[in-house]
């Protein structure tokens, strides 16, 4: 085992497992604050890493499943960022007001940091000091490598977050979460733990659902070990919703009230920048992050702005027979403003690699019915083929050297070659795609995955049997993607093993076995 991994595991075992006892903060500010229990039950996190800044997050919640258990009064929370784990070299510090309006959560923007280096951070409210977290700023200029993990779909009841325990011990620069951080509903079989309550629709209920998920020690460890970038998918609000349409809540006005509560709770519990704070039922989470000359990473939102599902007449967007509506040019996954933003960002890229992080599988998965007709899954990109074509056209127009698309949602591993016309297998590949399986959520039937692989030549690999995550390693020669799989998601102590490895060579679009 490398010294770096040993150092990381010692850090996780010591700093993250209990309240920090490192050197004290300065003079206590404001009126004395006391808590009847540990206020840091939901841990600490960092995110939105820039060259000179990072967002630091925590939420004061001594009774986390009782909407936090805080009084309405605001609380001053001090934070520190240090160059060493012992906090002898303070790099930045500040004070934030934790208010009931945002569930006493903190989104502190630590500025004036140095690029491409590790920092440690912590919080204090009254005499209560948080666990210590570790973060890293984005590099500038030339760098020889960059490593990140991506994950999605972590239904609390269906398995343990053992994948995050494994992830937290790795040598990574970043974690990218691609949606379904919580699940609004209970489903599946062989539950190992329970939500205990019904489907959330109010702000208080969504807050409690996030608190339940974030109480998991392994998830907290992964948050505290690395900065995160995150986007939502559907289950943070309601299954398979599209913009203001939901097959579970047919009244758009009522649904937007639910979406307002859900979006706010998401912001309150994730290390997001102030630009992502919702205004009513709207929030901007798509963003562009740059990591030196190695990587441009574009986060997309394919839920908030998409057209209503085609071919299902207002019903649930399942796999159904094709219809003319599906191929209407105006139909969109991203909305016009985000499409224009995406095109502009591609024109401003500087990295050797361009990662497009979005929620689901982009490659076509056409299915045949008994009469030989085509069937498509209307909740994914197959339900919006011209929107997919426009996205890929932007990549071609801007001559993106090394485009790689990553996704989640499907509860299965996929590797694919993306083409403008998937019915022409010999057409030039525009980009490689990798989809990670779920952290815990039940996977599709293996026959369904095999049929998709057999009937769609754009798919290079598919496996729906395992739960886990993916690791991406970038250098000047290649992008290597490893699918990390649990032996058994129902076992809290399960081993994690490499299931498959793929590579994309610099300047050569397409997936290769590594």
pLDDT at 7 over 70: no
The DSSP symbol for 481 reads E
Which stretches of 82-216 are DSSP H helices?
A: 162-168, 203-214
Rounded to 10 degrees, what is the CA torsion of 418, 420, 423, 425?
Answer: -50
Distances in Å between the alpha carbon of 456 and those of 283, 386, 449? 36, 18, 11
β pairing state of 54-59 and 44-47: antiparallel
pLDDT at 346 over 70: yes
The DSSP symbol for 325 reads G
Could you tell me which residues are beta bridge partners of residue 122?
Answer: 80
Read off the pLDDT of each residue in 392-409 and give the average, rounded to a whole number: 98
For the chain, counts of helices (H) and of strands (E):
8, 25
The pLDDT of residue 425 is 86
The model's pLDDT over 185-207, given as tens digits with 9 standing for 90+, comes to: 999 989 999 999 999 999 999 99
What is the enclosing helix (H) or strand (E) of 259? helix 252-269
- φ, ψ dihedrals at 207, nearest 5°: -60, -45
pLDDT at 4 over 60: no
β pairing state of 128-129 and 118-125: antiparallel
The pLDDT of residue 33 is 86
The pLDDT of residue 12 is 57
The pLDDT of residue 307 is 98
pLDDT at 446 over 80: yes
**Cβ atoms 302, 241 nearer than 8 A:** no
Give the residue among 172, 170, 56, 169 at the shortest CA–CA distance from 113.
Answer: 56
The pLDDT of residue 18 is 43
Q: How far apart are CA 480 and CA 472, in angstroms?
A: 6
Read off the pLDDT of each residue in 133-143 and give the average, rounded to a whole number: 96
Could you tell me which residues are beta bridge partners of residue 513?
Answer: 502
Q: How confident is the model at residue 8 (pLDDT cuts 50, 70, 90)?
A: low
The three-point CA angle 273-279-285 to 5° equals: 40
Mean pLDDT across the chain, nearest whole number?
Answer: 94
Higher confidence at residue 64 or residue 423? 64
Q: How far apart are CA 180 and CA 286, in angstroms?
A: 16
Q: How far apart are CA 7 and CA 18, in angstroms?
A: 17
Q: What are the residue boundaries of the structural domains of the chain, listed by start?
A: 3-136, 147-513
The three-point CA angle 249-255-258 to 5° equals: 115
SS (H, E, C) 432-452: EEEECCCCCCCCCCHHHHHHH
The model's pLDDT over 460-485, given as tens digits with 9 standing for 90+, comes to: 999 999 999 999 999 999 999 999 99
**CATH of 147-513 among 1.10.8.60, 3.10.580.10, 3.50.50.100, 3.60.21.70:** 3.60.21.70
Q: How far apart are CA 388 and CA 431, in angstroms?
A: 12
**Cβ atoms 258, 234 nearer than 8 A:** no
- Residues 6 or more apart in contact with residue 105 via CB below 8 angstroms: 57, 58, 59, 60, 98, 268, 269
Looking at the chain, the whole-number percentage of residues with pLDDT higher than 90 is 90
Read off the pLDDT of each residue in 121-143 and give the average, rounded to a whole number: 96
The DSSP symbol for 425 reads T
The string of DSSP letters for 136-169 reads: EPPP-S--SEEEEEEE----GGG---HHHHHHHT
Query: How many CB atoms neighbour CB 193 within 10 A?
Result: 12
In terms of CATH, what superfamily is 3-136? Purple acid phosphatase-like, N-terminal (2.60.40.380)
β pairing state of 403-407 and 353-357: parallel
Give the residue among 449, 433, 432, 346 at the shortest CA–CA distance from 390.
Answer: 346
Lowest mean pLDDT across 396-400, 433-437, 444-448: 444-448
- φ, ψ dihedrals at 298, nearest 5°: -110, 120
The pLDDT of residue 214 is 98
Give the residue among 268, 261, 275 at the shortest CA–CA distance from 57.
Answer: 268
**Cβ atoms 76, 95 nearer than 8 A:** yes
């Amino acid at each position: 085992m490398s010294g770096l991994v040993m150092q990381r595991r010692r850090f996780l075992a010591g700093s993250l497992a209990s309240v920090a006892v490192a050197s004290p903060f300065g003079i206590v500010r404001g009126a004395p604050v006391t808590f009847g229990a540990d206020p840091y039950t939901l841990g600490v996190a960092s995110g939105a890493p820039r060259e000179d800044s990072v967002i630091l997050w925590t939420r004061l919640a001594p009774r986390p499943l009782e909407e936090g258990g805080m009084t309405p009064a605001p609380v001053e929370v001090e934070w520190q960022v240090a160059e060493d784990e012992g906090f002898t070299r303070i790099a930045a510090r500040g004070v934030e007001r934790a208010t009931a309006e945002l569930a006493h959560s903190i989104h502190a923007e630590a500025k004036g940091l140095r690029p491409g280096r590790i920092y440690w951070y912590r919080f204090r409210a009254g005499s209560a000091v948080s666990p210590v977290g570790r973060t890293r700023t984005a590099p500038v200029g030339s760098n020889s490598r960059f490593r990140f993990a991506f994950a999605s779909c972590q239904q609390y009841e269906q398995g343990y977050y053992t994948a995050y325990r494994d992830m937290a011990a790795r040598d990574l620069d970043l974690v990218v979460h691609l949606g379904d951080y919580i699940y609004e509903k209970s489903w599946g079989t062989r539950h190992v733990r329970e939500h205990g309550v019904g489907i959330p629709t109010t702000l208080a209920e969504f807050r409690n659902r996030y608190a339940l998920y974030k109480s998991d020690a392994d998830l907290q460890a992964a948050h505290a070990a690395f900065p995160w970038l995150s986007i939502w998918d559907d289950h943070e609000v309601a299954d398979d919703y599209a913009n203001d349409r939901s097959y579970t809540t047919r009244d758009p006005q009522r649904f937007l009230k639910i979406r307002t509560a859900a979006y706010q709770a998401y912001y309150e519990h994730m290390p997001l920048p102030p630009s992502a704070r919702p205004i009513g039922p709207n929030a901007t989470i798509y963003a562009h992050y740059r990591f030196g000359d190695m990587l441009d990473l574009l986060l997309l939102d394919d839920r908030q702005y998409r057209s209503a599902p085609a071919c299902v007449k207002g019903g649930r967007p399942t796999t159904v027979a094709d219809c003319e509506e599906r191929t209407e040019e105006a139909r969109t996954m991203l909305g016009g403003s985000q499409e224009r933003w995406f095109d502009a960002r591609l024109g401003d890229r500087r990295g050797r690699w361009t990662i497009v992080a979005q929620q689901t599988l982009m490659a076509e998965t056409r299915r045949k019915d008994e009469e030989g007709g085509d069937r498509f899954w209307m909740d994914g990109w197959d339900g919006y083929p011209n929107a997919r074509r426009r996205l890929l056209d932007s990549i071609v127009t801007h001559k993106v050297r090394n485009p790689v698309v990553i996704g989640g949602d499907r509860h299965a591993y996929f590797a694919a070659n993306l083409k403008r016309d998937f019915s022409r297998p010999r057409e030039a590949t525009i980009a490689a795609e990798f989809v990670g399986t779920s952290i815990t959520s039940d996977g599709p039937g293996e026959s369904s995955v095999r049929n998709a692989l057999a009937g769609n030549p754009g798919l290079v690999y598919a496996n729906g049997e395992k739960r886990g995550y993916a690791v991406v390693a970038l250098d000047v020669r290649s992008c290597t993607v490893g699918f990390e799989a649990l032996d058994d998601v129902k076992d809290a102590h399960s081993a994690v093993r490499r299931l498959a490895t793929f590579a994309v060579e610099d300047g050569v679009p397409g997936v290769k076995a590594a």
